[in-house]
Amino acid sequence: MHLKPTADNTIVLKSAREIAIMREAGKVVAETIRALEEQAEAGMSTRDLDQIAARKFQDVGAESTALGYFGYPGHICVSVNDEVVHGIPGPRKLKRGDLVKVDVAARYHGYVGDSTHCFAIGGLETLSDRARQLVQVTQEALFHGIWQARPGNRLSDIGAAIEAHVSANGMNVVRDFVGHGVGRNMHEAPQVQHHGPGGRGPVLRPGMVIAIEPQVNLGSAEVRMLEDGWTAVTVDGSLSAHFEHTVAITADGPEILTLRDED
Ligand code: MF3
Ligand code: CO
């Protein structure tokens, strides 16, 4: 989500019963992402991907939380190559070697799951070595961040871990967007920055559920918005990767609600 100057700071804790429902919502989102990755191929349009997700939501009785969000026109976001986030599905045809980010958020039985996966049309082997590293480092950085999502840590420990891994690999974390609490609504408090310093913000507690979603650029961290009012692209045209999971903080540590077996 966009970094917002003001926000309701109240973090709504979820009960074990609510987290059980969110596990189901997370599974719907994960299965949708699996279908998208399996079916995406050269020659398809980004709107075709949107339709795959829309059909999946309809089949299982879920609803997109992107559609109609501040007037957003798609069921999912599909961002390609230098597009960082919130790409609107449309007639753009996918090509072999395109780096695709599908951001899927849906409500199921009253609760939301939100996850983003990044893959290449034709497989990761179609990418340059550096682009493949970008994908790998971004996914690793997300997992480093998730690892910090445990009781007793502070919120900004998550971003600090993400940024440390990205910087160590000579890449840059985008600062214009943040992760967020998730629950009955797609966007709840707190906002989750993907950069340091650590040791700041609320102490993490069991029952918090957050979406962590670093976007990482091979070049400058700066982004600009296209005229459509949604799509953010890198200012220098460099490639960008994005991964996201919805994570419940439990007494035992992080539980990834949108995990797929292959992650
Ligand atoms: N994971 C994205 C976010 O939190 C989902 C965006 S849906 C949209 O920003 F409607 F806002 F595009
Ligand atoms: Co999100």
CB-based burial label for 187 (10 Å; 0-12, 13-18, 19+): buried
Q: How far is CA 91 from CA 3, 48, 57, in A?
A: 29, 8, 21
* Protein residue closest via CA to atom 2 of ligand 1: 1
Instruction: Give the C-alpha separation, 156 to 158, whole Å.
Output: 5
**Vertex 49 angle, CA 43 and 53, to 5°:** 160
Write out pLDDT tens, residues 225-259: 999 999 999 999 999 999 999 999 999 999 999 99
The pLDDT, as a whole number, for residue 216 is: 99
- Torsions phi, psi for 13 (to 5 deg): -80, 145
State pLDDT tens for residues 59-84.
999 999 999 999 999 999 999 999 99
Residue 102 lies in a domain: yes
pLDDT classification of 262: cutoffs 50, 70, 90: confident
DSSP label of 132? H
Task: Kindly give the number of the ligand 1 atom that is closest to the alpha carbon of 70.
Answer: 10
The closest residue, in CA terms, to atom 11 on ligand 1 is 66
Instruction: Output the residue whose Cα is nearest ligand 1's atom 4.
Output: 1
**Ligand 1 contact, 147 CB (< 6 A):** no
Q: Let me know: does 222 contact 118? Beta carbons within 8 Å.
A: no
Decide: 69 in ligand 1 pocket, CB within 6 A.
yes
- At 6, the pLDDT band (50, 70, 90 cuts) reads low
10 Å CB burial of residue 151 (0-12, 13-18, 19+) is: middle
SS3 22: helix
Which atom of ligand 1 is closest in space to residue 115's alpha carbon? 1
Distance 71 CA to ligand 1 centre (A): 12
pLDDT tens track for 121-175? 999 999 999 999 999 999 999 999 999 999 999 999 999 999 999 999 999 999 9
Q: DSSP characters for 150-208? A: STTSBTHHHHHHHHHHHHHTT-EE--SB-EEE-SSSSSEEEEE-SS---S-SPBP-TT-
Cα 57 to ligand 2 centroid, rounded to whole Å: 17
Q: How far is the CA of 104 from the centre of ligand 2 (A)?
A: 8
Give residue 21 CA to ligand 1 midpoint distance, Å.
21
pLDDT given at position 113: 99
> Each residue of 76-126: pLDDT tens digit?
999 999 999 999 999 999 999 999 999 999 999 999 999 999 999 999 999
d(CA 90, CA 27): 26
Q: What's the pLDDT score for residue 4? A: 79
Determine, yes or no, domain membership for 105. yes
Rg (CA), the chain: 17
Range of the domain at 206: 16-256
Q: Is residue 73 part of a domain?
A: yes
**Ligand 1 within 6 A of CB of 1:** yes
Q: Is residue 78 part of a domain?
A: yes
The full length of the chain comes to 263
- Give, for 234, the enclosing helix (H) or strand (E): strand 232-234
Average pLDDT over residues 9-37: 97
Q: Under DSSP, is residue 237 helix (H, G, I), strand (E, B) or coil?
A: coil
Residue 114 φ then ψ, to 5°? -145, 120
262 falls within a domain:
no
Q: For residue 39, is it within any domain?
A: yes
Q: What is the CATH number of the domain that holds 154?
A: 3.90.230.10
Q: What is the predicted pLDDT for the residue at 3?
A: 85
Q: Is residue 191 part of a domain?
A: yes
Looking at the structure of the chain, the number of domains it has is 1
The alpha carbon of 166 and the centre of ligand 1 are apart by a number of angstroms equal to 22
pLDDT (mean) for 43-51: 99
Query: Is 90 inside any structural domain?
Result: yes
Ligand nearest to the CA of 79: 1
Distance (Å, whole) CA 116 – CA 168: 23
Closest-CA residue, ligand 1 atom 9, reads 1
Mean pLDDT for all residues in the chain: 97
pLDDT of residue 202: 97
Q: Rounded to the nearest whole angstrom, what is the distance from the C-alpha of residue 67 to the centroid of ligand 2?
A: 14
The per-residue pLDDT for 261 is 85
Is ligand 1 within 6 A of the CB of residue 98?
Answer: no
Averaged pLDDT, 180-203 = 98
Average pLDDT of the residues in 172-199 = 98
